Amino acid sequence: MNIEKIIKNKNIKLTPARLELLEILISSNKPMCYDDIKDTIKMDKATFYRNISKFVGEKIISSFESNDKKRYFAFETNIHPHFICNYCNTIECINDFPNINLENHTVENIIFKGKCKDCVEQ
């Protein structure tokens, strides 16, 4: 995946902070919040959220709020649902979901909440 091309196609200035942030989100296999990322990036919290806001606005990444009141971010080329456990707050991507086309609507995220497999077995 060519991050520079993604940024330039959106007419956004490519900065080291933006490059670093997108590299982290692209390489992750699950949505991440600021707390997940803060120790691996070289930017303050304000710069993080300013760049995240730009990426969300340009539809480069998606975001949603979890049960723990934290905002999670993910680089997604296709919209897919996430499952949030109401008991342990884990977040899972659901990739085996049929494509739903809602005429004259734009779906930005799909969230399922309940009890994850590990919590059900306890």
Residue 94 has what pLDDT? 84
**Model pLDDT for residues 24-80, shown as the tens digit of each residue:** 999 988 899 999 999 999 889 999 999 999 999 998 998 999 988 999 999 876 677
Contact 14, 22 (CB under 8 A): no
Q: Which CATH number goes with the domain that contains 12?
A: 1.10.10.10
pLDDT tens for 73-115 read 998 766 778 899 999 988 888 878 777 778 898 777 788 999 9
108 Cβ contact list (under 8 Å, min separation 6): 62, 79
| pLDDT of amino acid 23 | 92
Question: pLDDT digits over 11-33, tens only?
Answer: 889 898 899 999 999 998 889 99
Domain count, the chain: 1
Could you list the residue range(s) of the whole structural domain that residue 109 is in?
3-121
pTM of this structure:
0.77
**Residues in Cβ contact with 48 at an 8 Å cutoff, skipping those fewer than 6 apart:** 21, 34, 37, 38, 41
Closest CA to 81 of 92, 70, 65: 92
